[in-house]
Structure 1
Amino acid sequence: MQNKNRSRKGYTLVELLIVIAIIGVMIAICVPIFRSRLEKSRRAVYLANARAIRAVLANIVNTDKFNYRDAKHGNNKEIGFWVLVTRGPSSGPSGDYSGRTVYCCAETDVIIDGKPTKTAKGTRFHNQGVEDAMKAAGLNLDTLSVKASNTTVNGIGGWDWYLVEYGWNDVAKEYDFRIYSGSKKESASWSKHPNPTNIELYLNRQNS
């Protein structure tokens, strides 16, 4: 009788299994939510970086720091220059990009702030004038990259690279700015992406 009212010590195996099961359910619910929010925050950073790069390119245009009188591409005079940000040295678009994470480029005959376009590590379109303008604006090229996954968030897929360009808009028949994205080994040519890309869909949703 003296042990009848003794308080219980510890937990039974069944109770421990119930607690473990509850924790497992909570993790299963919380992890996808956390991942989704992490993806959203990363994409928000990419959009902010892309807008900052666009501002740098716009400043090049507005301050007449480019020479394009001798630049020709196909049947159109092209004065395009751009910045390409990738997931890594081997995750860029097809063609002329490999070995870097960030590429500062211009058309072959374009001169930016007195610096001609020439072949450099990873691309034949490197332009030091674009790179110098990025650094002068305080953008750290070493920290720019794509880290988010390609998972779909709110109905919009991801990307392996994004590109900010001042170039020829074949639809409007004029030069314009564009921010667009693509997958590994996919063409980075503006004309190859006539429809809004994933990053553009994301930008449009933020602006609406």
Structure 2
Amino acid sequence: MAKSFKKGFTLVELIVVIAIIGVLAAILVPSMLGYVKRSKRTADISSAKSIHDSVMQILADGEEPAESFGAHNTTKHNVTVKSEGQNETYTLVVVCSKDGANNNGGNRSTWSGGNNEAKAFQDALNDFMGHDKTPIKFQKSKSGKKLNRWFICYRDPDPIDVEIWVGDGTTNTPMYRLWPYTDPDFN
């Protein structure tokens, strides 16, 4: 009578394999999370450049939207940004903003929120870019506040010095400049 032996793994072999998988996961997971974070940041900067290019195109093409862009905007914020290692403070004028949240159920959103004089610019921008969502991928600031709104702004007093910011939609406050010079704290 022949004896049959069942082949398989021993308990020690299984524990060693599980330990190796655990070590590899401990090494790979943090680097993958960093990669995802950097890719979201890059996507937001790319979106900001696209918005900036659209704004500049509208300002160059139409007299009425260009005049509307800088007309009597009263939503102003004093901001401080880092520029070449130095802090720079200036007055930022918000022309309009747009919902950048991912959770609005696919609703179309428009550029709005400026004063009535800026309506011609907002309408031209909505026609030029369409009304589709432009989601903000990097959704939390360092302080934990939600980043859910795009802002088209300019440095007071020069309306041609256009900047694109992201910030908190509940307080309607720009928090991080993304274009043309990305705030180094946006990470």
Using the size of structure 1 for normalisation, the TM-score is 0.58
Task: Give, in angstroms, the shift of residue 84 of structure 1.
Answer: 2.6
Q: Which residue of 1 aligns with 2:128?
A: 133
| One-letter identity of the residue aligned with 2:158 | E
Q: Which residue of 2 aligns with 1:187?
A: 172
1:141/1:70 Cα in 2 relative to 1: closer, same or farther (>3 Å)?
A: closer
1:158/1:12 Cα in 2 relative to 1: closer, same or farther (>3 Å)?
A: farther
Using the size of structure 2 for normalisation, the TM-score is 0.64
What is the CA–CA distance in structure 1 between the aligned matches of 2:149 and 2:32, rounded to whole Å? 24
1:87 aligns with 2:78: no
1:26 aligns with 2:24: yes
| One-letter identity of the residue aligned with 2:120 | I
Q: Which residue of 1 aligns with 2:152?
A: 165
Task: Give, in angstroms, the shift of residue 20 of structure 1.
Answer: 0.7
Given that residues 48 and 178 in structure 2 are in contact (C-alpha distance below 8 angstroms), is that contact kept between their aligned partners in structure 1? no
| Structure 1: stretches of 5+ with no match in the other structure | 91-98, 114-126
Q: Which residue of 1 aligns with 2:158?
A: 174
What is the CA–CA distance in structure 2 between the aligned matches of 1:70 and 1:174, rounded to whole Å? 8
Between the aligned residues of both structures, percent identity stands at 21
| Structure 2: stretches of 5+ with no match in the other structure | 77-92
Given that residues 86 and 146 in structure 1 are in contact (C-alpha distance below 8 angstroms), is that contact kept between their aligned partners in structure 2? yes
SS in 2 for 1:178: strand
1:43/1:159 Cα in 2 relative to 1: closer, same or farther (>3 Å)?
A: farther
Q: Deviations over 1:167-189 (max 9, x none)?
A: 3x24xx3222112222453432x
- Superposed CA RMSD in Å reads 4.1
1:102/1:71 Cα in 2 relative to 1: closer, same or farther (>3 Å)?
A: same
Q: 2:110 aligns with which of 103, 113, 120?
A: 103
Q: 2:137 aligns with which of 125, 137, 147?
A: 147
How many residues get paired? 161
SS in 1 for 2:47: helix
Task: Give, in angstroms, the shift of residue 56 of structure 1.
Answer: 0.7
Q: Deviations over 1:100-141 (max 9, x none)?
A: 67431243222426xxxxxxxxxxxxx433210113xxxx72
Task: Give, in angstroms, the shift of residue 55 of structure 1.
Answer: 0.7
